Amino acid sequence: MVSMELRKAWGPEFSMAAAGTGNIYGITLSYANLLVILFCSSRVFIKATAVTETCTSIPSMINSFHLEDGGDIDHDRQYLVQYIKNSDAGFYLNGVRLTRSFMIKAAYFVGAMSYSVGTVALSGST
């Protein structure tokens, strides 16, 4: 049960939401808070994805440097390029590399889940 002090402090809306009856304002406010959290976390993941994509382009950049004159292949540079390429640098989340395609799939999943949860919450059915 909700204590009497909380009922006095927050008013009847809090009592209805705590009792399980809920109202549209409480549900909308909770959904808005969830959207703010999702937006902020998606910004972090997008920045991490940008770093991963930058790490993907580093071997091509190093390979394009012309440090010596002549047409011979620089084996030390090729070794460095292969080392960077095989190290597969970037951001990982539980062993999964954060790439653009992963972020598009995650955004689609979060959007579908948000739509379904919002629809159920606003319709009032369980």
Per-residue tens of pLDDT for the chain, all 126 residues: 444 554 555 555 544 444 445 556 666 667 778 778 888 888 998 999 999 999 889 988 888 887 666 667 778 888 988 998 899 888 898 888 888 998 899 889 988 988 887 788 777 655
Residue 39 lies in a domain: yes
For residue 44, the number of C-alpha atoms closer than 13 Å in the C-beta half-sphere is 7
Residue 3 lies in a domain: no
83 inside domain: yes
Alpha carbon of 42 to those of 52, 55, 88, 89: distances in Å? 15, 20, 23, 21
Note the pTM of the prediction, 2 decimals: 0.60
Residue 101 domain-assigned (yes or no): yes
CA-CA distance, 115 to 72, in Å (whole number)? Answer: 59
Within a domain: 45: yes
Half-sphere exposure of 4 (CA within 13 A, CB side): 0
Count: domains in the chain: 1
Tell me the pLDDT tens digit for each residue of 14-49. Answer: 444 444 455 566 666 677 787 788 888 889 989 999
Retrieve residue 70's tokens.
């002549």
Domain residue limits at 39: 24-123
Residue 93 in any domain: the answer is yes
